[in-house]
Structure 1
Amino acid sequence: MAQENRADEVAVQGGLEGVRSTSPFSEEELNTRTGHRPDFLGGGITLPLPDAGGTQIWLHYTHFSILMDRARRQALLTVVDIDGAKWVNIKRRKPDVWYPDPRLKNDEQPERDFFQKADPSFNPARNDFGFGHLVRRQDPNYDEPGDDEAAERSEYETFYLTNASPQAESLNSGPWNTLEDIVLDDLKKTLRIPAVVLTGPIFDKKPPLLHGVFPIPRDYWKIVAWRSGNELAAVGWRQRQPDGVMPDALESVSVPFDGKAGEAWLIPIEEIAALTGLDLALYAAADTYRMRVLGFEGVEAAAPAFPLPVRASDLLMAETLLLGDDPPTPAPLPARGLAARMEVSSDSTAGIPAMAETWSGPGDEDYWTDITEDDVAAAAAAEGSTLESADAAPTVSWAADADSIDHAHLVPTPASGAFSLRAEDLDLLAALNDLPVDEAGDTPVLFGLRGCAIIMDHNQSAGEVTLRDRRPDHLAPRCVLGVWNRRAGSVHVFPGSTVPDRRAVVSWKASRRSGNLLPTGLYRYVVGPHATLRKDGTLNSRPGCFLLRNASGDKRVVVVRRSNDDLAYDLADMTDRTAPGDNIHPTFFLQPTDFSSFGCQTVVGTADSGGNHKGAWAEFRAAAGLQDKEGTPGKPYLYMLLTGTEAMLASAVRRNGLLGDIQARRALRRLRFGSKGDAVLRLQARLGLPKRDGDFGSFTAESLNALQRGLPPKNRCDGIWTPDLDAALGWGVFSSFGV
Structure 2
Amino acid sequence: MSYNKNFIPNFEIEVPSISKKQRHQYEQAGLNLDRYYLNYINYSVLQNPFRKFPYFSATNIDGSQFIEKLDRKDDFDKDDRIPLSHQFGKELYSAYHSDFDRGHMTKREDTQWGTSPSVAKEAADSTFYYTNAVPQHARLNRSIWRRIENYILHTQGVKHKKKLIVFTGPILNQNDPVFVTRIDGDEVKIPRIFWKVIYYLNKSNDLSRVAFITNQSNLLLNNGIVEPTMEITRSTDGEDDYFLDFKDADTYQTGVPVIEALTGFSFQKATDVYEDDRIVRLILEEVNYRSSGEDESDTGDITNLKL
Q: TM-score, normalised by structure 2?
A: 0.73
Q: 1:67 aligned to 46, 57, 67, which one? A: 46
Aligned mates of 1:454, 1:189 — CA distance in 2: 32
Q: Retained in 2: the 8 A contact 1:45–1:230?
A: no
Q: Give 1:276's aligned amino acid.
A: T
Aligned mates of 2:273, 2:87 — CA distance in 1: 35
Q: How much has 1:453 moved relative to structure 2?
A: 1.5
Alignment correspondent of 1:215? 189
Deviations 1:495-528 (A, max 9, x none): 7xxxxxxxxxxxxxxxxxxxxxxxxxxxxxxxxx
Matched, 1:45 2:2: no
Deviations 1:92-121 (A, max 9, x none): 436x11111110111011120211212xxx
Alignment correspondent of 2:72? 93
Q: Give 2:258's aligned amino acid.
A: E
Relative distance call for 1:209 and 1:107 in structure 2 (3 A) is farther
Matched, 1:453 2:273: no
Alignment correspondent of 2:240? none
Aligned mates of 1:265, 1:131 — CA distance in 2: 21
Q: Retained in 2: the 8 A contact 1:36–1:64?
A: yes
Q: Retained in 2: the 8 A contact 1:168–1:242?
A: no
Secondary structure of the residue aligned to 1:249 is: coil
Q: Retained in 1: the 8 A contact 2:173–2:232?
A: no
Aligned mates of 1:102, 1:253 — CA distance in 2: 33
Superposition pairs for residues 216-365 of structure 1, below 5 Å?
A: 216-228=190-202, 229-246=204-221, 247=226, 249-250=228-229, 252=231, 264-280=251-267, 282-283=268-269, 285-290=270-275
Secondary structure of the residue aligned to 2:252 is: strand
Q: How much has 1:267 moved relative to structure 2?
A: 1.3
Matched, 1:128 2:102: no
Aligned mates of 1:101, 1:243 — CA distance in 2: 31
Q: 1:182 aligned to 151, 162, 178, which one? A: 151
Deviations 1:45-95 (A, max 9, x none): 11022456343421011110101111111101111000001111242436x
Aligned mates of 2:255, 2:248 — CA distance in 1: 20
Structure 2: stretches of 5+ with no match in the other structure = 27-32, 234-246, 289-307
Matched, 1:108 2:95: no
Superposition pairs for residues 328-727 of structure 1, below 5 Å?
A: 453-455=279-281
Q: Give 1:128's aligned amino acid.
A: D
Q: Retained in 1: the 8 A contact 2:252–2:287?
A: no
Q: How much has 1:274 moved relative to structure 2?
A: 1.2
Relative distance call for 1:180 and 1:592 in structure 2 (3 A) is closer
Q: How much has 1:133 moved relative to structure 2?
A: 0.4
Q: Retained in 2: the 8 A contact 1:235–1:288?
A: yes
Aligned mates of 2:205, 2:53 — CA distance in 1: 35
Alignment correspondent of 2:109? 138
Q: TM-score, normalised by structure 1?
A: 0.32
Aligned mates of 1:151, 1:67 — CA distance in 2: 23
Secondary structure of the residue aligned to 1:91 is: coil
Secondary structure of the residue aligned to 1:225 is: strand
Q: Retained in 2: the 8 A contact 1:219–1:241?
A: yes
Alignment correspondent of 2:58? 79
Aligned mates of 2:52, 2:101 — CA distance in 1: 16
With a CA cutoff of 8 Å and minimum separation of 6, indicate the structure with the bigger relative contact order.
2
Aligned mates of 1:253, 1:51 — CA distance in 2: 21
Secondary structure of the residue aligned to 1:150 is: helix
Aligned mates of 2:170, 2:44 — CA distance in 1: 15
Q: Retained in 2: the 8 A contact 1:266–1:289?
A: yes
Q: Give 2:114's aligned amino acid.
A: D
Secondary structure of the residue aligned to 2:136 is: strand
Aligned mates of 2:15, 2:219 — CA distance in 1: 35
Structure 1: stretches of 5+ with no match in the other structure = 1-33, 119-125, 255-260, 291-303, 305-415, 417-451, 456-476, 479-493, 496-590, 594-739
> Number of matched residues?
251
Relative distance call for 1:278 and 1:51 in structure 2 (3 A) is closer
Q: Retained in 1: the 8 A contact 2:157–2:163?
A: no
Aligned mates of 1:148, 1:194 — CA distance in 2: 19
Secondary structure of the residue aligned to 2:45 is: strand
Deviations 1:156-213 (A, max 9, x none): 1100110010111111111111221122112354211110111011133232333234
Aligned mates of 1:253, 1:278 — CA distance in 2: 16
Alignment correspondent of 2:292? none
Q: How much has 1:249 moved relative to structure 2?
A: 2.5
Secondary structure of the residue aligned to 1:205 is: coil
- Aligned-pair identity (%): 24
Aligned mates of 1:242, 1:174 — CA distance in 2: 15
Aligned mates of 1:248, 1:106 — CA distance in 2: 26
Q: Give 2:177's aligned amino acid.
A: P
Aligned mates of 2:178, 2:287 — CA distance in 1: 28
Q: Retained in 2: the 8 A contact 1:202–1:219?
A: yes
Deviations 1:407-453 (A, max 9, x none): xxxxxxxxx7xxxxxxxxxxxxxxxxxxxxxxxxxxxxxxxxxxx51
Q: Retained in 1: the 8 A contact 2:67–2:117?
A: no
Aligned mates of 1:91, 1:249 — CA distance in 2: 41
Higher Cα Rg: structure 1 or 2?
1
Aligned mates of 1:207, 1:47 — CA distance in 2: 30
Aligned mates of 2:6, 2:93 — CA distance in 1: 36
Alignment correspondent of 1:723? none
Q: Give 1:245's aligned amino acid.
A: L
Deviations 1:581-611 (A, max 9, x none): xxxxxxxxxx699xxxxxxxxxxxxxxxxxx
Aligned mates of 2:2, 2:157 — CA distance in 1: 20
Q: Give 2:263's aligned amino acid.
A: T
Secondary structure of the residue aligned to 1:143 is: coil
Deviations 1:467-497 (A, max 9, x none): xxxxxxxxxx89xxxxxxxxxxxxxxx97xx
Relative distance call for 1:592 and 1:158 in structure 2 (3 A) is closer
Secondary structure of the residue aligned to 1:162 is: helix
Alignment correspondent of 1:529? none
* Root-mean-square deviation over aligned CA pairs: 2.8
Q: Give 2:95's aligned amino acid.
A: K
Q: Retained in 1: the 8 A contact 2:61–2:110?
A: yes
Q: How much has 1:141 moved relative to structure 2?
A: 1.3
Aligned mates of 2:126, 2:188 — CA distance in 1: 22
Relative distance call for 1:58 and 1:253 in structure 2 (3 A) is closer
Deviations 1:628-686 (A, max 9, x none): xxxxxxxxxxxxxxxxxxxxxxxxxxxxxxxxxxxxxxxxxxxxxxxxxxxxxxxxxxx
Q: Retained in 2: the 8 A contact 1:141–1:151?
A: yes
Alignment correspondent of 2:134? 165
